[in-house]
Amino acid sequence: MARRSQLISGALIAGALLLTSLGVSGVATGAPSAAPVSAASLFEAAHSVHMMATSTTSSPEDPDGDGYIPANPPVTGVTPSTQDPPHRYFHEFQANCAVSHTEPDDPIVYPQQPGKSHDHTFMGNTTTNAFSTTASLDAGTTTCKAPGDKSGYWMPTLFNGDKPVLPIGPQTIYYKAGVTDYTSVRPFPKGLRFVVGDPMQSADEFRHHPGFVEGWECGDSYFNVDFPASCPTRADVQLNIRFQAPSCWDGKYLDTPDHKSHMAYPVVKPGTNDNVCPADHPVALPMIEFKMAFPVNGDLSQVRLASGRGYSFHYDFFNAWDDATLKALVDHCVVGGLQCDARGYDQTHPEAGAALDENYQLP
């Protein structure tokens, strides 16, 4: 514990020195820098401090503040499935959720510490803030089409200059099978949370991240690890990104100190092309894929994320689905090998029906 406290103190001091060197007042005493501080410099400073200061604050779900939140009950006795079911090109459904608010909060990385994070754009649960818990999200409301999805979804806010650029309307959040045996996928446990990607990753690390799909794209420009210099100035062109989350769970923890270790990406089974969960993360869960569209085009030279450059993109997920609703969608669409909308309806297989009614609720 003493060693961890020393590391945290050193990180906080380093962060303060970094901000002081940029002339940011209110961090440390001393004469302010004579040089003007750019908005970009402030973003980079906040970005660095955000990552250097590791939270050990206790919360209602982690009273000892060690970062571990055990699953209750844990999932045991599972081995990664190596079965190869009949091929289905699709095994997915969508959670269509709109932006609700922005806030410099992160209830996963900085629980109980409002204003500690860089700015985030929140979707889904309308109450998500630094004090969010599984219980508070359960009691909240949602911008998702399915009222049963009270999960919190958030990502660093995109800025064009100093102006926030927020996605308009319901965004596409896919729930897919990340493993070859799509019939082995089970719903998320209530309260599971994790961070996807890393705001401190380099451009090369971002490009080779297992969650990388298309990078940043707009118009005919694809696979960019940073924002392209410009996009066609047309009404139908927006800046887009697709990024996938890990989908294999250790069955033990709803969260871990780094907010990642309890999750893993599927691996390729030796001698095959099959994706399977690794032995230490044997539980196959839905693979979330963000497909975000930001209404900005033309000159992108002033576009940046609250966390830094384009390759600092990452996002967070805090599961607060109604258990029965999520299970119905996973069983019908993922396990059933369908390409479903937010109702759990596949237009190419109308005979299969839908998992939810016209109000996106269980029938």
* pLDDT (0 to 100) of residue 56: 61
8 Å CB contact between 130 and 123: no
Residue 4 backbone phi and psi in degrees, to 5: -65, -40
d(CA 115, CA 155): 15
Please, what's the b/e burial string for 303-339 (b: 16 or more CB within 10 A of its CB; e: otherwise)? bbbbbbbbbbbbbbbbbbbbeebbbbbbbbbbbbbbb
pLDDT in tens, the chain (363 residues): 333 333 333 333 333 333 333 333 333 333 333 333 334 444 444 444 344 344 568 899 999 999 999 999 999 999 999 999 999 999 999 999 999 999 999 999 999 999 999 999 999 999 999 999 999 999 999 999 999 999 999 999 999 999 999 999 999 999 999 999 999 999 999 999 999 999 999 999 999 999 999 999 999 899 999 999 999 999 999 999 999 999 999 999 999 999 999 999 999 999 999 999 999 999 999 999 999 999 999 999 999 999 999 999 999 999 999 999 999 999 999 999 999 999 999 999 999 999 999 999 999
Domain positions in the chain are 2-52, 73-352
| Stated pTM of the model | 0.86
d(CA 236, CA 215): 19
| DSSP structure class, residue 51 | H
Matching residue, tokens 């989908």: 247
8 Å CB contact between 248 and 284: yes
* pLDDT (0 to 100) of residue 310: 98
8 Å CB contact between 341 and 94: yes
* pLDDT (0 to 100) of residue 133: 98
For the segment 111-166, what is each residue's pLDDT rounded down to a tens digit? Answer: 999 999 999 999 999 999 999 999 999 999 999 999 999 999 999 999 999 999 99
d(CA 27, CA 12): 10
Amino acid at the residue 177: A
